[in-house]
Structure 1
Amino acid sequence: MLACALALAGSVLLGPSAPGGALSGRSLPVEAVRDVVPNRVMTWNLCNPCDANALDRAAEIAAHAPQVIGMQEACARDVDRIRDYLEAFHGLVYHVAYGSVLRNWGRCGGAPWNPGGFGQAVLSAAPMTDRVNVEYPDGGSEDRGYLAVTTEVDGRAVRVLNTHLAQRRQEAVRADQVEVLAEEVARHERVIVLGDFNAVPEAPELAPMWELATDTDPRCRPSSAASGTGACEPTTDWRSKFDYVFLRGIAPVDHRVQHTAHSDHDLLYADVDLT
């Protein structure tokens, strides 16, 4: 704890560092954010490996101050740093739940006998309970799964799921994964599903999700995407919509896709109404 405190103090004195360790030259926020937006949720694939650091990622999140954030391709150590920087530099305090499905030295470093955890993570301004971490029976080319927690959004308790489906060109594997996910979603009258589905809205494997939930953008549906109306806004650098905030029993209010230089996936956040 003392070592972490000294390291954090040094960061405050020196300012944020660039990925290579050099000072970035940016000043810290003049006024730290003090409160989250209570009805805002966000999903973000952090991209691993990517040339980005936790300071920059924390600043991206703080700019929108969501109540709940679902992260994919997340190393537990990186998430710890992001959480610490959100509090130290932006006044935002989050609880963390980890949904690691891999212990991967190549992805997350660590000692050879104790590699870092890799998978999903959820940050929530409210405490989280009933955490469940599920690994899909078949992950495809890499183990995948979902993390489920109960927390508070818009002043009400809600089940939140965060997932990352199999990589592109593995449609059959994703179809099996969606069946597992949809079975859990169907158990709840009110649920938010965040994640990187690695599939466009009209992909056949996503059909079970569309039967149970709607996208945070009411105009985005499989039919609208297939017809080429452009209603589904892309969320990746290759201009595909792979990232979703699915809502079941919850009304969408607003949403935004925010481009970022710190991942190959954009940030997607949604304001919702649970009343």
Structure 2
Amino acid sequence: MVLGKGTRLLAGAMFVVFMLLVGPSAPGGALFVRSLPIGAVKAVVPNRVMTWNICNPCDVSNIDRAAEIATYAPQVIGLQEACARDVERIRDYLEVFYGLDYHVQYGTVLQDWGRCGGVPWSPGGFGQAILSAAPMTDRVNVEYPDGGSEDRGYMAVTTTVGGRSVRVFNTHLAQRQQETIRAGQTRVLAAAVARHDRAIVLGDFNAVPESPELSPIWALATDTDPECRPVPTGPCEPTTDWHSKFDYVFLRGFAAREHRVRPTPYSDHHMLHTDVEPKVRR
């Protein structure tokens, strides 16, 4: 059952009242909801997109995840390793506590009660999710023919970034030692991306920029980090705790104005966000 906005707001308001009654509960007396840092944006940035592998299974509070997202408030966020129940809570916390209203679509590839809770006969959905401040249409969810050691896939929606309609993809490719499987996955993904003159491809590709399996994507799009190319032109900023560049915001029909990689204590992947602008068509 999908809750309506009014129902979600009521539930959120009741949770706020509960917090006020019971007070702090985290170890050391920390509050449930942490204040955003100085310099955090006050509203959704309409031309900002973000990708973040939120880490699962990890013992992390969804309120903390919501606060990390709210600090940068992108127009579109692609999440990987996402349980549907966690994403729903993150979306609610963003709205109730930080005043950020997002739509959500899911790209579930597994029904996994071990990772995502529930019970064996009603497990939680696991995979990708996209949150967008603008409505989303034409969602597709595709599982790759070969996911490798775990089912993997991509999802895509049409939404608005920087005032322009755009096809947004979100994916999570096969694990690190599975290069040949990732090569098959990028061919499937590239074929879908190629059908759109304007596209943004978010995700955890589990491969560094010079990896041969990324060639089909490089042929269509450019990463937001100007130093990260199939032949590196400079120091490519890592996006993981093990100092590798695995996370990408690939742009097709858009140009990057600036990008930031933000390490976070709440995942082994950093948050990567970029502000974009449409390319001028000649």
| TM-score, length-scaled by structure 2 | 0.90
Q: Matched residues in 1 for 2:277 and 2:265: separation? A: 30
* Corresponding residue to 2:35 among 7, 29, 35: 29
Q: What residue is the counterpart of 1:175 in the other structure?
A: 183
Indicate which of 249, 255, 258 corresponds to 1:254: 258
- For 1:127, give the aligned amino acid: P
106, 109, 118: which is aligned to 1:101? 109
SS at match of 1:205: helix
Letter in 1 for 2:221: A
Distance (Å, rounded) in 2 between the aligned partners of 1:16 and 1:149: 39
- The count of residues paired between Structure 1 and Structure 2 equals 269
User: Which sections of structure 2, spanning at least 5 residues, go unmatched?
Assistant: 1-6
Instruction: State the Cα distance separating 1:99 from its structure 2 match.
Output: 0.5
CA distance in 2, matches of 1:207, 1:117: 31
Amino acid at match of 1:75: C
Are the aligned partners of 1:216 and 1:247 in contact in 2 as well (CA < 8 Å)?
yes
Aligned to 1:141: 149
Secondary structure of 1:222's partner?
A: coil
Alignment of 1:82-93 (within 5 A): 82-93=90-101
1:6 matched to 2:6: no
Letter in 1 for 2:139: R
Task: Supply the distance in 1 between the matched residues of 2:76 and 2:261 (Cα, whole angstroms).
Answer: 16
Provide the rounded CA distance (Å) in 2 between the counterparts of 1:11 and 1:113: 32
Aligned AA (2:232): S
Q: Is the 8 A contact 1:138 1:177 kept in 2?
A: yes
Displacement of 1:218: 2.2
Shift of 1:117: 0.1
Q: Does 1:48 align with 2:84?
A: no
C-alpha contact 2:139 2:155 (8 A) present in aligned 1: yes
- Contact 1:36 1:92 (C-alpha < 8 Å) held by counterparts: yes
Change (3 A) 1:111 1:204: same
- Output one character per residue of 1:19-53: Cα deviation in whole Å (capped at 9) or x when no partner: x7x75247653899652000000000000011211
Bigger drift between 182-191 and 26-35 goes to 26-35
Give the SS at the match of 2:232: helix
User: C-alpha deviations, 1:237-256, integer Å up to 9, x for none?
Assistant: 00000000000111110000
Helix, strand or coil for the counterpart of 1:238? coil
My pick for the range that moved more, 34-43 or 176-185, is 34-43
Number of the residue aligned with 1:240: 244
Report the Cα offset of residue 217 of structure 1. 1.5
Q: Match of 1:219?
A: 227
Structure 2 CA distance for partners of 1:27 and 1:139, relative to 1, 3 Å = closer
1:151–1:157: 8 Å Cα contact kept in structure 2?
Answer: yes
Change (3 A) 1:8 1:139: farther
CA separation of 1:13 and 1:251: change in aligned 2, threshold 3 A: farther
Q: Helix, strand or coil for the counterpart of 1:63?
A: helix
Cα deviation 1:68-109 (Å, max 9, x = unaligned): 000000000000110011011110000000111100011101
Name the counterpart of 1:39. Answer: 47
- Report the equivalent of 1:269: 273
Q: Do structure 1's residue 115 and structure 2's residue 100 form an aligned pair? A: no
The answer to which of 215-224 and 92-101 deviates more is 215-224
Distance 1:29 1:113, change over 3 A: same
Q: Is contact 1:166–1:173 with CA below 8 Å preserved after alignment?
A: yes
Q: In the alignment, is the contact (CA less than 8 A) between 1:58 and 1:83 conserved in 2?
A: yes
Instruction: Give the alignment of 1:138-217 within 5 angstroms.
Output: 138-217=146-225
- Cα offset, 1:139, TM superposition: 0.4
Kept in 2, the 8 Å contact 1:148–1:161? The answer is yes
Cα distance, 1:6 vs. partner? 3.0
Identify unmatched segments of 5+ residues in structure 1.
none
